[in-house]
């Protein structure tokens, strides 16, 4: 077995590794470090959790230990798709360089240009940046990339998803032709293959097995779920999520809950919090200080549930996540691999649970094709797949569940009473409910629902589905329905 001491790393770097408690290099490190130290380009096919950050930082800082930075001309460049990932690389850099005198600057959005300019002006050995922010600095004439000797592209496939490839190509063209390139991607989409063929020169290709797909330490399951009615599906799906969380009991110490859309990240997070779950959202539209605060809390164990979009959670290193819940089936099969790779890290056991609605069955099939196995179907923890009549009664009582079922019960009854033709409040309610409900869908769906949903609900109102015998004596709880119902949209 390879040892760190066999890898020709700088003794001060070895000391820092030892202090970090690492005993042996991970496969990506054992493969990438020697090639990088020889000055070769490296194409690393590996995902987060495999130790890939150290696989480029360690050789980079060993190579940079000799030499000195010049003003405004960084000697190396690490490009990351998200601010969080860039910040994480910066932390790794601090850990491994603690006995070396190397300087770094972090160029990410949400941090003032002035501070970053000052660092660059002084000269930095390592510049860690997101592509857009780097180009902003470049265009303001504050930065020269002609001194870059080593360039790292991290999470290239995510860069592709985020539309950063043109930026990456531009940045490549601003750096010297003679630079060394270390390029990492979890998957090799054709576009990524093209970039590597264009910008890498005879790279050492190091591929590590996809930990998440092959790792027996991650138990997977999927709940095939269908709402009792289309317009109720989003809220019933949130019921199902809570039931799935509750079913895990104490084994679920903390979890990342993934949603496909930012709007759903907010809705699911709010809904969980309302039901007493310790949850907070993270996605790209939140301001940086809020994202950092949430993430710090999750890492420190003071926040139990992180509700996230793929982009925000990509590459986050949170070593002890017991569970991943996929509130939505990801539309790209690779994202499933990334998502569930958040749990079961460093040999721990993990569990990944997903909810699949009929519309997502095709995406589920794609995932199963990619991971080459069938994801076991889970029994509905609420005891049924037809939740309308039973969801409220069958729902397990987890912590903080006290208000949930009751409220939902009340909120549904008034919904039915909307069908009473001559009730005055009904039109208002009909306006309010679908609008709110729509927040939980994508834009197309929102448009569809805003049009169709309303007509559907008015259709129901006229459909003769109404409770009979109320006459003019509307019971008090019906009068409450507007408020209750509005609230229940995020329940």
Binding residues for ligand AMP (CB under 6 A): 22, 25-26, 29, 48-54, 317, 319, 346
Which residues does 97 contact at the CB level (< 8 Å), separation at least 6? 13, 16, 61, 104
Query: What is the C-alpha separation between 259 and 108, in angstroms, rounded?
Result: 24
Query: Would you list the DSSP string of 151-192?
Result: EEE-SHHHHHHTT-HHHHHHHHHHS-TT-EEEEEESS--HHH
For ligand AMP, the closer of residues 54 and 168 by Cβ is: 54
- Burial code of 130-168, b = ≥16 C-beta within 10 A, e = fewer? bbebbbbbbeeeebebebbbbbbbbbbbbbbbbebbebb
For ligand AMP, the closer of residues 2 and 450 by Cβ is: 2
For ligand AMP, the closer of residues 48 and 62 by Cβ is: 48
CB of 345 to ligand AMP, least distance (A): 7
Joined together, the tokens standing for residue 213 give 């797909």
CB of 46 to ligand AMP, least distance (A): 7
The CA-to-CA distance between both ends of the chain, in Å, stands at 53
For ligand AMP, the closer of residues 27 and 330 by Cβ is: 27
CB of 234 to ligand AMP, least distance (A): 33
Contact 30, 55 (CB under 8 A): no
Query: What is the C-alpha separation between 455 and 196, in angstroms, rounded?
Result: 52
Which residues does 62 contact at the CB level (< 8 Å), separation at least 6? 8, 9, 10, 13, 37
Which residues does 272 contact at the CB level (< 8 Å), separation at least 6? 238, 241, 242, 257, 279, 305, 307
Sheet strands side by side (includes 305-308): 218-224, 350-356, 323-326, 255-258, 305-308, 279-282
For ligand AMP, the closer of residues 52 and 338 by Cβ is: 52
CB of 69 to ligand AMP, least distance (A): 24
CB of 161 to ligand AMP, least distance (A): 18
CB of 168 to ligand AMP, least distance (A): 20
| Three-class secondary structure of residue 364 per DSSP | helix
For ligand AMP, the closer of residues 88 and 488 by Cβ is: 88
Query: What is the C-alpha separation between 210 and 421, in angstroms, rounded?
Result: 58
CB of 52 to ligand AMP, least distance (A): 5
Sheet strands side by side (includes 150-153): 104-107, 126-129, 76-79, 150-153, 180-185, 42-45, 204-207
For ligand AMP, the closer of residues 26 and 411 by Cβ is: 26
| Three-class secondary structure of residue 205 per DSSP | strand
CB of 26 to ligand AMP, least distance (A): 5
Q: What is the DSSP letter of 378?
A: P
For ligand AMP, the closer of residues 50 and 263 by Cβ is: 50
Helix segments in 355-474, DSSP class H: 361-371, 387-394, 404-417, 426-438, 443-448, 454-461
CB of 400 to ligand AMP, least distance (A): 31
For ligand AMP, the closer of residues 1 and 468 by Cβ is: 1
Rg (CA), the chain: 26
CB of 45 to ligand AMP, least distance (A): 13
Which residues does 397 contact at the CB level (< 8 Å), separation at least 6? 246
Tokens 């509130």 found at:
327
CB of 54 to ligand AMP, least distance (A): 4
For ligand AMP, the closer of residues 3 and 359 by Cβ is: 3
Query: What is the C-alpha separation between 163 and 138, in angstroms, rounded?
Result: 19
For ligand AMP, the closer of residues 163 and 319 by Cβ is: 319
């Amino acid at each position: 077995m390879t040892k760190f001491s066999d890898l020709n790393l700088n003794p001060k770097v070895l000391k820092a590794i030892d202090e970090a408690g690492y005993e042996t290099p991970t496969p990506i490190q054992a493969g990438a470090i020697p090639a990088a130290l020889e000055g070769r380009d490296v194409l690393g096919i590996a995902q987060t959790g495999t130790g890939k950050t150290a696989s480029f930082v360690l050789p980079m800082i060993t190579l940079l230990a000799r030499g000195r930075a010049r003003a405004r001309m960084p000697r190396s460049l690490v490009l990351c798709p998200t601010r969080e990932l860039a910040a994480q690389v910066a932390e790794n850099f601090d850990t491994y360089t603690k006995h070396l005198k190397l300087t770094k600057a972090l160029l990410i959005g949400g941090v003032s240009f002035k501070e970053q300019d000052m660092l660059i002006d002084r000269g930095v050995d390592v510049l860690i940046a997101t592509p857009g922010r780097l180009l902003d600095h470049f265009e303001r004439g504050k930065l020269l990339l002609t001194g870059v000797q080593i360039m790292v592209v991290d999470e290239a496939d995510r860069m592709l998803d985020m539309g950063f490839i043109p930026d990456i190509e531009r940045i490549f063209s601003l750096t010297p032709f003679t630079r060394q390139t270390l390029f990492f991607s979890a998957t090799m989409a054709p576009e990524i293959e093209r970039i590597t063929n264009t910008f890498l020169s005879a790279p050492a290709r190091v591929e590590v097995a996809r930990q998440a797909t092959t790792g027996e330490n991650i138990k997977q399951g999927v709940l095939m779920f269908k709402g009792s009615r289309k317009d109720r599906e989003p809220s019933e799906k949130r019921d199902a999520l809570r039931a799935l969380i509750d079913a895990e009991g104490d084994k679920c110490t903390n979890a990342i809950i993934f949603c496909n859309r930012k709007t759903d990240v907010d809705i699911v997070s709010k809904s969980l919090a309302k039901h007493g779950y310790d949850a907070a959202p993270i996605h790209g539209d939140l301001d940086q200080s809020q994202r950092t605060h949430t993430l710090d809390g999750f890492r420190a164990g003071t926040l139990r549930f992180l509700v996230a979009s793929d982009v925000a959670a990509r590459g986050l290193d949170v070593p002890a996540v017991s569970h991943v819940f996929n509130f939505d089936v990801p539309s790209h099969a690779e994202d499933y691999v990334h998502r569930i790779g958040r749990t079961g890290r460093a040999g721990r056991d993990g569990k990944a649970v997903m909810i699949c609605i009929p519309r997502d069955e095709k995406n589920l099939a794609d995932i199963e094709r990619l991971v080459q196995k069938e994801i076991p179907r889970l029994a509905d923890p609420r005891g049924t797949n037809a939740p309308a009549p039973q969801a409220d009664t069958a729902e397990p009582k987890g912590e903080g569940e006290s208000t949930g079922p009751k409220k939902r019960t009340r909120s549904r009854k008034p919904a039915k009473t909307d069908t009473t033709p001559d009730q005055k409040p009904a039109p208002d309610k009909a306006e309010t409910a679908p609008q709110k409900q729509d927040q939980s869908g994508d834009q197309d769906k929102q448009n569809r629902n805003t049009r169709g949903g309303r007509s559907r609900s008015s259709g129901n109102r006229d459909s003769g589905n109404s409770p009979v015998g109320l006459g003019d004596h509307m019971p008090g709880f019906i009068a409450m329905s507007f408020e209750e119902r509005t609230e229940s949209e995020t329940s």
